[in-house]
Structure 1
């Protein structure tokens, strides 16, 4: 959050637009009631700044004549303190816009995750809670509010009984491995019990209202033979794309180079997903070190397998399993320049993205499922599926650093958490790593969707994109493939390549002026979207 008001106004004038963190209102007639919606949105998100007493950025952000800064300041203090519940963390000050004019600045800090949602009391929680989406304040859905409320207590959806299932729906192999682990770790409790008694004691099986022994949702996901028979979408999808953006196709019209639905229990989903990624990732090899037979050939994939596995485990273990999210799967997308892992539900608890990777920082949405996975060995390797010791993200950070890759990019939304691993620009002149002929073919296939190692450059150049930046060209290609109008927030998420809201807004303005894209509403409209021209 910028602290210098003069610099903030200067930047807004330069960009001639607001952004996701700044809202400007003229407030010529006094305190605008819509400020309460913006305060709610900022407090429920990452915070932001509201400036009262200035014209729209598109009109030059000029001071409003006759603006009574003191009166609006006092009204702002009273309204925000009395009409928003719980009381949001705000700082309200009168600032100088220039030598002659004063404005009101409201800085809203991110709210306490255990207190969200912040809402307009007279509208009620489910009608008066907002979030910031681009430049607009959008009312939160019931699902999103319910997820925020979960931060106040421990969710128990993973402990729900699946009455349609029974002991027979659990994998004998996984059950045996799990029971053996419990007997080894806690012999005093489990050594003398039968397998079924161990499962009852560990609350893997529980007695339902009709007296039947049934597994819990968490147990079915961790050790079920085929959990998707009961919950078809609780799986993991992995797609390999031919370019850097959704919607790009190969010359023969394919949208995906690989498209796989990983099903079965969590250990099987992990193995399947890793297999899909391994066979599609570019691979390099180096000759380094000495072993018993001399110089060793070491193969490296474009992303460290250790980092990928940690992200997939986290996605499956910490995703939202509430009824409203059981129609959504964990999504993995492998582009030519990045790997994206997206899991349903936002970050749980008091942890924020800023805390990721810090020592001892952990917040477990599905504590019951996590406890099972920490005692469940992979039958093939003997390795435990998860640790749940706040070591996952630090492991990812370390593995990426050792591989010479950028730190991951995290995005937290109420609907999902997304992690992106990026590739640095490829140095084609480097001789430190040599690729085998087989690998060259794989690399070309991943990049263009062709089976020939010589087919690296696409044929047919779109001259209408000449002079655009790579990001701008990607936005145009994405909108053309999308076929329908989408919001600025959607464009930033899918084709923004990590750019700021301001940069995306500037890109869109340039593309509109170039008549490559068309807006669907005036600049100030909350319904403004963009489509290809």
Structure 2
């Protein structure tokens, strides 16, 4: 993110832009913002700028002497390991620009690589680590800091041998189902003749422990082939949930949970049970290769890729678990954990950095998943070829969560003409009781209530990121919705969350015709 002086009048504060007056020198809050941006998406800090009540910016009157001192102080603190855990800036990241008669110092903070996250201040790992949300900089919780520490290492946590778990604790039916799929995908593979224990060791599902030199399941082996109650011993937050809502009159038309007790609850069985539910309504063309029918399509492959990507990038120590939601016009896949390469790099492709490398290897061996880092771009390409709306990837913090939305609705071919747009707006205003709200406002209100209905509750920042509005605008719309009794709020300050207000018995009665 670079500072463009030509756009100064257009700038507003958001998750990637922060302004500081700095009339009395570098403000202490600068370092919290530095940590926040480094641990998030990166961003831009403008020194010598203040924010007016309407959200626009004005310069604070810095001159060349002020800027030179600020620059010296900045580099001095950045290179003090007691103040900042790591200096991410290069000379070209710090520039001064003239805006009118005043100078502004721009600081571009890059996103820190996972190997150096968390970036913290004041030599305090747990109390000095920050991130940004829609409300500004916030202290990371201990669980968020620990998640960043887990992501630092090249050997992912699913590779470790679990010395308190035995090979016999794995579900052999699942192991044999996996072996059958491997044999079908790689006919005549040299591992086909191996016994189960040696086979599990070769695929990364088992490893010899350093202490007793015996073969034990790895964390990946337990996740893939274990029983849910045993997985919970290692991962107390482990939870898999599939929700299908095809009829709006019914809350769930189908539901599958790892805790139900009527199936294993492991990742292998979840993948194939859920995948079959996701594709059951997709059209399958009739095609023969020799005498064998082939009914796979690019959409089927994309959904397999998306589901595998969701599983292998999950941080199983983080709360709320994996949730896959199927509606009549979209599929949403959510997994705990942020994107290790960052959202921009993931969409660009070319770098594969899964959170669970052993799990990815096991899926790859049965023909599922993409090791080259092109999986997500391929999904986007398939959706583009189908003429559907572009997939949406979101990252949320506190707790860390990645959300992929795959809509089956067509792209809007062209924008409504000005005349038709004004006509539609007038019709919507009339339908809205003459309150004069614009079509865009009504659309955003609907987006907010729909999002809250799907999430049960959300904060201002989450809503703002989801619908693409500023937090300030979202707060205005939420206030309107609360005044009208459509939305309710709980908590205060940054912990304040909103949800759709459930109608009471008296409310329902008042709506019935006399």
If the length of structure 1 is used for normalisation, what is the TM-score? 0.70
Give the 5 Å matches for 1:239-254. Answer: 239-241=243-245, 250=248, 254=250
For each residue in 1:300-320, what CA deviation from the matched residue of structure 2 results, as whole angstroms up to 9, or x when unmatched? 99x923211111112112322
Match of 1:488 in 2: 460
Contact in 1 for aligned 2:460/2:474 (Cα 8 Å): no
SS at match of 2:53: helix
For the pair 1:365 / 2:355, whether they are aligned, the reply is yes
Work out the CA distance in 1 between the residues paired with 2:333 and 2:499: 27
Alignment partner, residue 125 of structure 2: 125
C-alpha spacing 1:408/1:214, structure 2 compared with 1 (3 Å): same
Q: Distance in 2 between matches of 1:133 and 1:5?
A: 26
Matched, 1:259 2:255: yes
Structure 1 CA distance for aligned equivalents of residues 455 and 375 of structure 2: 35
> Structure 1 residues 152, 159: CA separation in 2 closer, same or farther (over 3 Å shift)?
closer
Shift of 1:177: 5.3
Q: How does 1:496-511 map to 2 (within 5 A)?
A: 496-497=466-467, 499=468, 501-502=469-470, 505-509=472-476
Pick from 19, 22, 25: which aligns with 2:17? 22
User: Contact between 1:344 and 1:416, CA under 8 Å: does it hold in 2?
Assistant: yes
Give distance in 1, aligned partners of 2:308 and 2:346. Answer: 16
The match for 1:219 among 218, 221, 226 is: 221
8 Å contact from structure 2 (residues 130, 140) kept in 1: yes
Equivalent in the alignment of 2:134 = 134
Question: Following the alignment from structure 2 to structure 1, what is the Cα–Cα distance between the partners of residues 375 and 30?
Answer: 40
Q: For residues 373 and 28 of structure 1, do their structure 2 counterparts lie closer, same or farther at Cα, with a shift above 3 Å needed? A: same
Q: Which has the higher contact order (CA 8 A, sep 6+)?
A: 1
Contact 1:228 1:234 in 2 (8 A): no
Report the equivalent of 1:74: 72
The residue number in structure 2 matching 1:399 is: 382
SS at match of 1:62: strand
Secondary structure of 2:30's partner? helix
Q: Output aligned runs, 1:13-52, within 5 Å.
A: 18-52=13-47
2:5 corresponds to which residue? 5
Aligned to 1:237: 241
Q: Report the alpha carbon displacement of residue 420 of structure 1 after superposing the two structures with TM.
A: 1.8
Which residue of structure 2 aligns with residue 435 of structure 1?
Answer: none
Aligned position for 1:354: 344
Label 1:532 to 1:32 Cα distance change in 2 as closer, same or farther (>3 A): farther
Between the aligned partners of 2:326 and 2:199, the Cα distance in structure 1 is 41
The gaps in structure 1 that reach 5 residues or longer are 244-249, 293-297, 378-383, 429-460
Measured after TM superposition, the shift of residue 23 of structure 1 is 1.1
Partner of 2:49, secondary structure, is coil
- Count of aligned pairs: 452
Is this contact kept in 2: 1:44–1:116, CA < 8 A?
A: yes
1:342 matches 2:334:
yes
Match of 1:431 in 2: none
Give the structure 2 partner of residue 97 of structure 1: 99
Query: What are the residue-to-residue correspondences of 1:233-312 with 2, within 5 Å?
Result: 234-241=238-245, 250=248, 254-261=250-257, 264-278=265-279, 304-312=299-307
Q: What CA deviation, in whole Å up to 9, does each residue of 1:382-414 have, x standing for no partner?
A: xx4445454533442343233222442223456
In structure 1, what is the equivalent of residue 511 of structure 2? none
Q: Work out the CA distance in 1 between the residues paired with 2:376 and 2:62.
A: 53
Instruction: Confirm whether residue 419 of structure 1 aligns to residue 404 of structure 2.
Output: yes
2:393 counterpart of 1:410 = yes
Q: 1:106 to 1:519 in 2, by over 3 A?
A: farther
CA contact (8 A) 2:134 2:464 kept: no
Alignment-derived partner of residue 261 in structure 2 = none
| Deviations 1:401-445, CA, capped at 9 Å, x for gaps | 3322244222345612222223444889xxxxxxxxxxxxxxxxx
Q: Give me the whole-angstrom Cα distance separating, in 2, the residues matched to 1:195 and 1:158.
A: 18
Which residue number corresponds to residue 323 of structure 2?
A: 331
The TM-score, its normalising length taken from structure 2, stands at: 0.73
Q: Is the 8 A contact 1:199 1:205 kept in 2?
A: yes
Structure 2 residue runs of 5 or longer lacking an equivalent are 259-263, 414-430, 502-514
Runs of 4+ aligned residues of structure 1 deviating over 6 Å after TM superposition are 288-292, 298-301, 480-484, 517-522, 525-533
Distance in structure 1 (CA, Å) of the matches to 2:287 and 2:223: 43
Indicate the RMSD between aligned Cα atoms, in angstroms: 4.3
CA contact (8 A) 2:245 2:253 kept: yes
**1:135 Cα offset (Å):** 3.9
